[in-house]
Each structure stands twice: as structure tokens, then as C-alpha cells.
């Protein structure tokens, strides 16, 4: 029986971040991962002569070497900043509107504001007012977080702190917009539906339509990706995952691949260790689960070991959305088919809320399409004269789980064919240049990630379940969580939250 200071279940971004922070601080840590590579969604795979990125679009929180953002500071602390080649991205995203109009937003506040004022001159004053509000909103968030961090950690004490400080008077913008939906706020500022689509793109990063997507997350995304600039990683997200695993091992801790956890060991109501799939047992003072609370409580613990309060608590959280994704290798450079921007959101109508409802079905006729060409950011990502495009739609897993094997095969490729057909209306000639194509459905994500419903964003991150309401309460002593199931999704946020969990464990040990 082996003993460790901390056991981490799952080598996703949050788990790797927690383990890296603990390892560099001399805590003997072990990470268990049932896949043969680390990273969770932060991985890549090969088909033919192409290596496809699974998830990463843009990495935020980097800024520059001389003025490092929070994510860069973490990579510097883990000793891997210089082991990775960072590629700055000049454009936040391109919105492809119905009728063929395209609006590419620069990764700069003034330039983005100027471009939108030029594209939508009748709403120029509202655009300028909106950008000012978003920046003020983020300034107030930063001030509030700094002050609340110095207050007692107990939720009831924090509530008293907020009341005592006169929150609505001090943080006027935050109080006004902090718990409203993206659609609600955009309707307040703008009349043009096209303009609203140009400003709400980040809803797809959380898997929520604008009418349910918290404006606070949109405002944070717009601010952070603009202030710190978005970056891509040469070699893809697998490079970051590998570098983190190497850091953990270099500091004397362990990462076991191809070795999942069978159950969590309990003693007197406390989590004290794990048993792996081979029947080996490991003990530790603290266990961090980087897999979903649903899988952790329902699959790694006995029914009688799960407190009733825990069951009641998670009834209000719903498993989030998954995706259908086409990984496409082309035998031509991206400009040959008119692909000019690395991150595209493609709409065939102006009603994103209505189109999002098709996510509950298997067909892809009306869903907004997210299409990324990593070759534009990194020409070395594929062989010379070729390009890689990842294109897909958000899909819930339930409809796919109901299909028979025969129906699944037919439905999967029909949905992919429809995505290619729709892409070709924007990028003529694309189909004729396809050399390789792999299709992933919610069931694919379920198989590789082990997430209920193949969820890629954890629980649904709507107004009721995110921001101030993430499921971060703990019910079993010795057991805590990291990752996108209990925090904002995304690479940067998961690295930051994983580090935060590790820091809290380090403080406990002092």
C-alpha cells in the first residue's frame, strides 16, 4: 500500500494544474488517468498525416513575457513557460452572418470598437457605451474579488461582508448587470440582431444560448481575451498537458496512465485513499477529483457513503452539452478555399436562441457552426500545402444515446455530411479537398472523457448554475474537486482553479 500527500483522480487540465502546484511545493502527489495520454480535452490525435487538436481554440490570460497575465504566471511557476512556443492571435473571432457578410473582430479594444462602429454606424454611440460598460464591469469585478479575498471564506460571513460594504452603491455596474443574461443586456444596448451576434460569440464557449448565457461570463471573456491577447500553442494543447505531466514527475511525484480509479476508500466518513483498476490501494490525506461530481459520488463511492445533503444539492445541476465535431484534413492551404480567420462562428439565421434548440436533436441543418483552422495560426500544424479545419455544432447527448448501432453510424455521417455541405457554401471547393475526416459525437466524448452525456462544459453553465452558483460545496472530508464541473470552463480558468485548490491544500498543511 503506497502513501501520498495528495491523490488526484483524472489528468484533465484542472487535475494536472493541482498536481503541478503541489509537486513543485514538495507535496508527494499521484495522478491517476485511465486514458493513455494526459490532458482530457487538452489532447490531440492522428489520422493519416494529420494531427488533430481536440479542443483548444484560444488560450487567454497570457499577455506578454514582460507583462505576464495570470495564465502565463502559472506556466512560469510550473517551469514550463519557455518549454512551449506561444503564438499570438490577432483576431478574436470572425462572425459569418446570413447572406455571406463576415465581421472579424480584432484582439484590441479600440480597434474592435472602431470596426464595429464602421460596420454598424447607426449604433456607433451604443457600441462605444457598451465597450465602456464592459470595461467598467470588469474593473469592479477585480476590485470586488480583491476585497472579498481578504474577507472570511465562510459564505455567510462573505454575505455579511457584501451587505456591509454597500455592494449596490460601490459596484453599480456589477450590481446592474452581474446576474442578467447576455440576450437581456444586448437587447438593452442594441437593435441590430447582426450586431448582437458579433458581440455574443463566446456563448458557444460555455454551451449556452444568449438568452441563458450569463452576461458576466461574456463580459469577462471579451475583456480577458482583449487585454491579455489570445494565444495558440505550437503543437496544440497536448504540448501543455505533456509539459505539466513532465513537471509533476520531475518534482518527484507520479502520473499513472492507463490506470483509472475503481473506488474511493472511506474511513469514519472521511475519504482516505483510492483503489485503482488493478486492485492496488493508495492512501493520502487529501483526494482531488478532476472527474465530474456525478461520476465521483455515484460511481466511486458506495450509496451509503454519499450524504443525503449531497444528493439534494446536486439535484439542481443538469449535465451540460456535448458536441458533434468534424476533424478535417485538407490537401490545400486554407486561402485556396477562402478560409482567412482561425476562429469562425457561422450563422444561417439571426436567431441564435431558436437555432440552439436544434442541439437537442441529431441533425445539423440549423445549428450555428464553430469552425477553426489552426493552420492559419500555425502553418506548421499540418504538412506543407495542407490545412486542418475543425468544424462542429453543440449537441446534447441524450438523443444520441437512444440510437441503435446501425442508426448511430448512419446518423453520425449524415450529420457530418450536412456540416460539410453548409461549410462549402461559405468556402467553395472544401469538399473536393478533403483528404482525411474523423467525426466525433457526444458518444465519442463520453467514451474518451468518461463524462455523463459526453459533456464538454461540465454542468450547464446558465444563470442558475454558474458564476455565483458553481457546485463548489464539499460534503465528504478529505475529498475536493477541480476542473470545469465546479468552475468556469476553459483552459485558463481550469488551470487557475486547479492551482487555487492546490493552494488551499498547501495552506491546510502549514
pLDDT, tens digit, 9 for 90 and up, residues 26-76: 999 999 999 999 999 999 999 999 999 998 888 988 988 999 999 999 999
What phi-psi label fits residue 504: left (phi over 0), alpha (psi between -120 and 50 degrees) or beta? alpha
- Percent above pLDDT 70 for the chain: 96
470 closest CA partner among 457, 453, 479, 456: 457
CATH number of 321-449: 3.30.519
SS3 87: strand
Residue in the block written with cell 504566471: 73
> How many residues are given for the chain?
510
Span 220-257, pLDDT tens digits: 999 999 998 899 999 889 999 999 999 999 999 999 99
- The mean pLDDT value for 261-265 works out to 98
- CB-based burial, 162-172: b 16+ in 10 Å, e otherwise: beeeebeeebe
The mean of the pLDDT values for the chain is 93
Angle formed at CA 385 by CA 382 and CA 388, multiple of 5 degrees: 40
> Which of 152-161, 351-360, 466-475 has the highest average model confidence (pLDDT)?
351-360
Band (170; pLDDT cuts 50, 70, 90) = confident
pLDDT at 157: 57
Please give the pLDDT value at position 336: 96
CATH 3.50.50.60 intervals, the chain: 2-47+60-87+236-317+462-508
Residue 438's φ and ψ, nearest 5 degrees, are -120, 145
Q: How confident is the model at residue 465 (pLDDT cuts 50, 70, 90)?
A: confident
Q: Which fold has domain 2-47+60-87+236-317+462-508?
A: FAD/NAD(P)-binding domain (3.50.50)
How far apart CA 341 and CA 304 sit, in angstroms, is: 53
16 pLDDT exceeds 80? yes
Q: Which DSSP symbol is given to 49?
A: T
**What's the gap between Cα 121 and its chain centre?**
34
| Average pLDDT value for residue range 259-284 | 97
Residue span(s) of the chain under CATH 3.30.519 come to 321-449
User: Each residue of 44-58: pLDDT tens digit?
Assistant: 999 999 999 998 888
Alpha carbons 363 and 372: distance in angstroms, whole number: 21
Amino acid at each position: 500500500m503506497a502513501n501520498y500527500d495528495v491523490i488526484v483522480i483524472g489528468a484533465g487540465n484542472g487535475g494536472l494544474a493541482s498536481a503541478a502546484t503541489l509537486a513543485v511545493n514538495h507535496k508527494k502527489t499521484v495522478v491517476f488517468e485511465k486514458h493513455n495520454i494526459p490532458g482530457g480535452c487538452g489532447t490531440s490525435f492522428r489520422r493519416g498525416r494529420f494531427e488533430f487538436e481536440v479542443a483548444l481554440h484560444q488560450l487567454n490570460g497570457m499577455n506578454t513575457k514582460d507583462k505576464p497575465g495570470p495564465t502565463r504566471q502559472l506556466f512560469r511557476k510550473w517551469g514550463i513557460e519557455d518549454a512551449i512556443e506561444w503564438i499570438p492571435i490577432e483576431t478574436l473571432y470572425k462572425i459569418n452572418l446570413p447572406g455571406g457578410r463576415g465581421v472579424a473582430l480584432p484582439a484590441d479594444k479600440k480597434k474592435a470598437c472602431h470596426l464595429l462602429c464602421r460596420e454598424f454606424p447607426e449604433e456607433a454611440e451604443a457600441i462605444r457605451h457598451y465597450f465602456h460598460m464592459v470595461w467598467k464591469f470588469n474593473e469592479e469585478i477585480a476590485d470586488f474579488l480583491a476585497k472579498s479575498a481578504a474577507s472570511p471564506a465562510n459564505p455567510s460571513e462573505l454575505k455579511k461582508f457584501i451587505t456591509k460594504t454597500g455592494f449596490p452603491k460601490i459596484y453599480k455596474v456589477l450590481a446592474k448587470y452581474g446576474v442578467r443574461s447576455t440576450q437581456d443586456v444586448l437587447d438593452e444596448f442594441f437593435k441590430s440582431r447582426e450586431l448582437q451576434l458579433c458581440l455574443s460569440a463566446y456563448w458557444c464557449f460555455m454551451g449556452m444560448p444568449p438568452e441563458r448565457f450569463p452576461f458576466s461570463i461574456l463580459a469577462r471573456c471579451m475583456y480577458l481575451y482583449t487585454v491579455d491577447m489570445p494565444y495558440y500553442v505550437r503543437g496544440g494543447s497536448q504540448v501543455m498537458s505533456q509539459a505539466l505531466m513532465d513537471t509533476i514527475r520531475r518534482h518527484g511525484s507520479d502520473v499513472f496512465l492507463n490506470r483509472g480509479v475503481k473506488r474511493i476508500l472511506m474511513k469514519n466518513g472521511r475519504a482516505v485513499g483510492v483503489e485503482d483498476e488493478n486492485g492496488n490501494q493508495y492512501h493520502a490525506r487529501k483526494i482531488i477529483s478532476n472527474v465530474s461530481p456525478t461520476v465521483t459520488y455515484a460511481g466511486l463511492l458506495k450509496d451509503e457513503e454519499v450524504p443525503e445533503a449531497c444528493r439534494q444539492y446536486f439535484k439542481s445541476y443538469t449535465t451540460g452539452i456535448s458536441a458533434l465535431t468534424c476533424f478535417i484534413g485538407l490537401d490545400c492551404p486554407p486561402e485556396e478555399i477562402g478560409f482567412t480567420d482561425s476562429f469562425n462562428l457561422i450563422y444561417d439565421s439571426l436567431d441564435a436562441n431558436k437555432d440552439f434548440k436544434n442541439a437537442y436533436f441529431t441533425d445539423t441543418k440549423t445549428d450555428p457552426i464553430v469552425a477553426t483552422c489552426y493552420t492559419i495560426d500555425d502553418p506548421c500544424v499540418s504538412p506543407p500545402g495542407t490545412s486542418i479545419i475543425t468544424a462542429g455544432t453543440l449537441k446534447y447527448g441524450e438523443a444520441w444515446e437512444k440510437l441503435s448501432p446501425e442508426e448511430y453510424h448512419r446518423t453520425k455521417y449524415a450529420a457530418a455530411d450536412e456540416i460539410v455541405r453548409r461549410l462549402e457554401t461559405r468556402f467553395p471547393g472544401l469538399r473536393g479537398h478533403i483528404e482525411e475526416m474523423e467525426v466525433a459525437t457526444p458518444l465519442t466524448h463520453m467514451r474518451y472523457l468518461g463524462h455523463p452525456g459526453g459533456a464538454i462544459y461540465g454542468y450547464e453553465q446558465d444563470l442558475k448554475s454558474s458564476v455565483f452558483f458553481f457546485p463548489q460545496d464539499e460534503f465528504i472530508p478529505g475529498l475536493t474537486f477541480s476542473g470545469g464541473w465546479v468552475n468556469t470552463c476553459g483552459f485558463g480558468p481550469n488551470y487557475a482553479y486547479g492551482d487555487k485548490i492546490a493552494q488551499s491544500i498547501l495552506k491546510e498543511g502549514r
